Structure 1
Amino acid sequence: MIRKSVLLTHTLLLSLFLGGCGQSSSSEKADKEGGKKLVIGATMLSMQNEFIVNVNDEMTKKAEADGVELISIDAERSPLKQIEQVESFIAQQVDAIIMNPCEVEASSPAVTKALAAHIPIINVNSATSAKPTAFVGSDDAESGRIAMNYIAKRLGGKGNVVMMHGYMGQAAQIQREQGAREVLKQYPGLKLLAHQTGEWDRAKSMTLMENWIQSYGPQINAVFAQNDEMGMGAVKALTSAGLKNKVIVVSIDAIPDALQAVKNGTLDATIFQNAEQQGAKAIETAIKIAKGQPYDKETLIPFELVTKENISKYQK
């Protein structure tokens, strides 16, 4: 009996020792991997927008590659819903929040709430009036300048232009209009014939273009659509009316449809916005902040003009 008790004691001690070693190695492994798995919450403007979907896809790829858990939610263009989603992320105590803002002003309370809860918040692709922890995106005013400069050169500085706005109040809409108007001021011969929102939507923009064709017809010399979805809608309406060969159409984002249209010659130009870099850099920045590492408070990725001459560089 004594021998059995001694043997049992030795066995238990050995088990505890080995168990302790196992816990130690797990802790060491966790330390090497940087501790617990980081959790990042993301609220995106609209998953009906192809460019935003592309940004989100790149965020997902980068998060998976870096071993980070990403919880991504569609705000469905609602600032109120977006604020509620950020509040939910705060309640879940995520390590960082990435927000693709619905609107400059209406989405700003989400930034304020995150910062008050001491959770870093990174705006991606679009801005808010409330200053986030960091911003990753592009200078939207630059894209407006590039597009309108292209139109001005093609028209020789004279002609009538119509402009399709994105979702009103959203940073990209405000800044792309600002950039376009800066160029218009430099060309007294260019007249802004009409401007109205197409809400980033292809079908709505096709209807808008049809209305403009009825109102102005051959007076229209060029269309600046603030994104490719709207640009493609304008192209369809102009083609149906037999006017496409007489009207220059330029849009922004360089989504696959638009690139193919540029190659075919139906869309005159698009402005490349790098969804891959925006998505990846947003995750990279969130990770750095969550880990207390140095980071850039602003990461700006340049826009690039895409025409038939350089289309091969952008088509995959």
Structure 2
Amino acid sequence: MKLRNVILATALCLLPLQQAAAESKLADFPLAERIKAKVAAGQPLDIYVSYHDVSNEFAPFMKAGVARAAAEDKVNANFIGPVGADADGQISEIETLMGKMDGLAISSVSTDALAPLIDRVLAAGIPVVTFNTDNPDSKRLAFAGQDLIQSGREAGALMAKTLNGKGKVIITTIDAAAQWSIDRENGAREALKKEAGIEVVQTLNTGTDPQKIYSAIENAMLANPDIDGILSLECCSTPAAGTWVERNKASDKVKVVGFDLLDQTVQLVESGNIQATIDQAPERQGFEAVNLIVKFVKGETIDNLDTGVGVYTKDNIGEVTKK
């Protein structure tokens, strides 16, 4: 049976979010007087979008969505965040902007570390939404992004199908301690457990440096020559896994399932060195992060927004290259 070759809900919100409903109304929120005055005067809002690591290869897609929202919504939208997954750096940067922000969208480095800060920003009358990585422990107004547990399930199911229900698998991630990684891994393992013939050998924490990511995968494969599948949980270890397969001419033995549509990942899917990759609509996530705040301040009710799970294989990856 072929892997699914259709895009599943990249533009429609068809999968239920695991997070509780977050319907929020301006009437129930003590908006800061200075922000009220700006809205009344028709002045552009200053919205800050804090991403958990602006140095990774996924960030430019988010930034492009933020820029599009700024133009369409006629606001000042600033894409900020730490270089590397630095919770203290993310907190410090946001704290310095408290008096300037008319709205904050945040993808937290750490759920536990950032939740108190989010609540302090909200208490100051500044609307806060989360995007890409949710922070359900906070009182954020809404979340825009992919259901991470569900996307992990999708990846696990694709891996199981690719291996025909049997084989040894390594899970790779650039940050095993991050909440997004934990959620996605939980979903993947849940799906893989349904196949008695599949064994997850280890979760490989590669770090974020591209050369170190590849070296970590190479060393893991040398140590485990009987591995049949590599399941990547994010953008950046996916092309590294596919590149290892390509360099070792192992596409007939080692199958790769991963995430996102980096150029190298698309090429490796086309060449058959990656079997499937899952898109999470990063440009849309950046756009919706800003747009939700604008809607809220204008008095519209907002709620969680699922950007969906888009599955791409060799059968339909051409749709990406045509864009």
TM-score bracket for the superposition, by shorter chain length:
0.7 to 0.9
Counterpart secondary structure, 2:171: strand
The question of whether the paired residues in 2 share the 8 Å contact of 1:202 and 1:231 is answered with no
1:314 is matched with which residue? 320
1:65 aligns with 2:65: no
Aligned to 1:294: 300
Give the CA RMSD over aligned residues: 2.0
Q: Distance in 1 between matches of 2:223 and 2:140?
A: 43
Unaligned residue ranges in structure 1 (runs of 5+): 1-29
CA contact (8 A) 2:242 2:268 kept: no
TM-score, scaled to structure 1: 0.84
Aligned match of 2:200: 192
Q: Helix, strand or coil: the match of 1:227? A: coil
Aligned-pair distance for 1:284? 1.0
Q: Distance in 1 between matches of 2:302 and 2:268?
A: 36
Please show how residues 3-152 of structure 1 align to structure 2 within 5 Å.
Answer: 35-76=42-83, 77-92=85-100, 94-128=101-135, 129-152=137-160
Distance apart, 1:110 and its partner CA = 2.2
Structure 2 CA distance, aligned partners of 1:143 and 1:166?
A: 17
- 1:254 alignment partner, one of 255, 261, 268: 261
Deviations 1:116-141 (A, max 9, x none): 21211111100223231221111011
- Aligned residue for 1:40, secondary structure, equals strand
| Aligned equivalents of 2:314, 2:139: Cα separation in 1 | 39
User: Following TM superposition, by how much is the alpha carbon of 1:207 offset from its aligned partner in structure 2, in angstroms?
Assistant: 1.0
Cα distance in 2 for partners of 1:200, 1:154 equals 27
What percent of counterpart residues are identical? 27
Structure-2 separation of matches of 1:63 and 1:252 = 27
Q: What amino acid sits opposite 2:79 in the alignment?
A: S
Q: Distance in 2 between matches of 1:271 and 1:65?
A: 28
SS of the residue 1:60 aligns to: helix
Q: Does 1:154 align with 2:162?
A: yes
Residue 224 of structure 2: SS of its match in structure 1?
helix
SS in 1 for 2:193: helix
Tell which structure's C-alpha radius of gyration is larger: 1
Whole-angstrom CA distance in 2 between matches of 1:290 and 1:221: 51
**1:33 & 1:311 partners in 2: Cα distance?**
47
Alignment equivalent of 1:303, drawn from 309, 314, 317: 309
Distance in structure 2 (CA, Å) of the matches to 1:38 and 1:177: 37
Pick from 279, 284, 289 the counterpart of residue 282 of structure 1: 289
Question: Cα–Cα, structure 1 residues 201 and 172, in superposed 2: closer, same or farther, change >3 Å?
Answer: farther
Q: Which has the higher helix share?
A: 1
Q: Which of 234, 237, 242 is the aligned partner of 2:244? A: 237
In structure 2, the partner of 1:18 is: none
Please, what TM-score do these two structures have when normalized by structure 2?
0.82
